[in-house]
Amino acid sequence: MALYPTGLATALDSLVQAGRAVATESAGDLTVTGLSAIDVAATAKTLVALGWTFSIEDATPEIIATDQISVAYEPYRLVITKPPQPEGFATAVSRAGVAFWLRDEKRPAVLWVAGLTSAFETKASRIAPWGDNSAFNPMPTGCDPRKVVREFATRRLVTSQIDHWLLRYPDVDLPTTHWAFVTWARPAFAVLLRCLSDEVEEDGCLLFRGPPLSRLKPEADIIEALGPAGMRAVQRAASWVFESSVEMRPRHDLFAPEIARTAHSDRGAGAMFRLAAETALEGAIMARAFGLSEVSRDSLKAMTDLRKAVGEEIGKLSDATRSIASAVAGALFAGIALIAGRLALDNPAPIIKQAVAVIGVVLFLYVASIIASGLQYVRLQRRLRFEWHAKIYRFMPENDYQAMVVKPAASAESGFFLAAWIGGIAAIILLGLVLCASVAEGPGTPLQQGVGSPLTNAAKPERNDVTNPEQKDGPPPNRLQTVPKPSESDASTK
């Protein structure tokens, strides 16, 4: 069973607070300087019981054994090697260890603190008792307070990462008396007060624009000025303001003026937040609710306008579809009539053939222009819908926008595209038929037929036999033997 360094941490903190030692701690080592012979002997005994590796240096300085400790060689320097921990965990035995972990930009998410009785969690990290293996998942807000707070100091005072200072559960009981919490809370609440202000001046004063304008100076001991109630109120306010990056700016603009209306510039920032943070938060929440009701009415009106716009768009697409159908029908009737008229003419003049071809091309271009205008309208409406969604209708959930806008428009567009394809194919086929009909040759007239044709040779003898029996040209005419009609006397004799 692993032993926890609770006694070591308590003893070291007592020595440091009494001014009898100075501790510095990093990720793997703990160094304690200025120790007396009695203190270094007691600490070494504790380390031996824990089984930790350490070395002792006297004032010479030389590394000595525990049995060589003497008052004559004070002060002593103790270097302790902390045992390795699992990946994703850091350890702290002193206040210096917690401070080092807070300064580390690549710090692990979980910190084990020796002697801590209960854990507390922020949005990005967990500070827990030594050996606590509870699961922890960060909940980043994505908020950057520098986007809403102006700075006039020569160095950056407003943090860009607020998740390490926001408690995940502001209303839970906190170990406010433990040195680890105090070490975390001092920078945490100083950071939060700056993030909740409108401006941070060069001397560190916090400016809140009301009206009226309020300027608050943070106290040297912000924890003592706030007290437990003030710390809880500040955490609630900061958790509400920086709940999400989308709502950060409007909520900040509502909370800061509430502080300005209730604060007095003659008092410190911590004392004023202890008195006014709860009231300011309630006022900001009420103002936000009223604003949301106004936004809801505007959103309802916007959704009504959107529904009307979508209906008009679908109606115009239906008109475009009907226009394509009408154009194709008219072109087909005209083309069929043109083809029939051309085929009724035998060997017309070239000008007529050219006119037929030109009319066929004009009919095709007419249908193509109707289809092209419809496609241009569809592209324009798609671009407008994209811009509307990004700028005007961002408040709508994606599923609602798909159901109200995208799907009805897509259904109307599918009908238009079907009509456009059918109309385009019909127009191309009609153009080909008209061009073929315009260049086709007719059967010809009798005057243009050759002399040796069967029709001419069969017809000429009958005309020549009637008009000129003595004609010798051509083959002899067919002379049919005429049977005389019997007379009445012959009929009676028979």
- Boundary residue ending a domain (394, 416, 439): 439
What's the predicted TM-score (pTM) here? 0.62
3: domain CATH number is 3.30.70
- Boundary residue ending a domain (399, 414, 439): 439
Q: What was the pLDDT predicted at 300?
A: 62
The answer to whether residue 490 is domain-embedded is: no
Per DSSP, helices labelled H in 242-268 are 248-262
The answer to whether residue 113 is domain-embedded is: yes
Q: Which domain holds residue 87?
A: 1-95+109-118
The answer to whether residue 54 is domain-embedded is: yes
Q: What was the pLDDT predicted at 390?
A: 64
The answer to whether residue 270 is domain-embedded is: no
Q: What was the pLDDT predicted at 180?
A: 94
pLDDT digits (tens, 9 = 90+) for 389-413: 666 666 666 776 777 777 888 887 8
117 sits in which H/E element: none
Q: What is the DSSP letter of 258?
A: H
The answer to whether residue 390 is domain-embedded is: yes
Q: Please count the other Cβ atoms lying within 10 Å of the Cβ belonging to residue 320.
A: 23
Q: What was the pLDDT predicted at 437?
A: 76
Q: What was the pLDDT predicted at 442?
A: 53
Structure tokens that stand for 326 in this block = 């009408």
CB-based burial label for 132 (10 Å; 0-12, 13-18, 19+): middle
The answer to whether residue 382 is domain-embedded is: yes
- Boundary residue ending a domain (439, 468, 483): 439
How far is Cα 12 from Cα 92, in angstroms, rounded to an integer?
12
How far is Cα 131 from Cα 4, in angstroms, rounded to an integer?
8
Summary count for the chain: helices (H), strands (E):
12, 13
- The angle that helices 269-344 and 179-196 make with each other, rounded to 10 degrees, is 60
Q: Which of 421, 318, 435 is nearest to 378 (CA)?
A: 318
Structure tokens that stand for 327 in this block = 């154009």
Per DSSP, helices labelled H in 93-178 are 95-103
- 3-19 burial, b at 16+ Cβ within 10 Å, e below that, comes to eebbebbebbbebbeee
Low-confidence ranges of the chain (pLDDT < 70): 1-2, 265-266, 291-307, 343, 346-347, 388-397, 400, 439-494
Q: What was the pLDDT predicted at 200?
A: 93
29-35 vs 22-25, strand pairing mode: antiparallel
- Which residue matches tokens 């007379």? 487
Q: What was the pLDDT predicted at 182?
A: 94
Structural domains of the chain, count: 2
The answer to whether residue 180 is domain-embedded is: no
How far is Cα 216 from Cα 264, in angstroms, rounded to an integer?
8
How far is Cα 69 from Cα 41, in angstroms, rounded to an integer?
7
Dihedral of the CA atoms 417, 418, 423, 426 (nearest 10)?
140
Note whether 257 and 241 are within 8 A (CB). Answer: no
How far is Cα 93 from Cα 43, in angstroms, rounded to an integer?
13
Q: How far is CA 477 from CA 209, 260, 376, 455, in A?
A: 127, 131, 76, 15
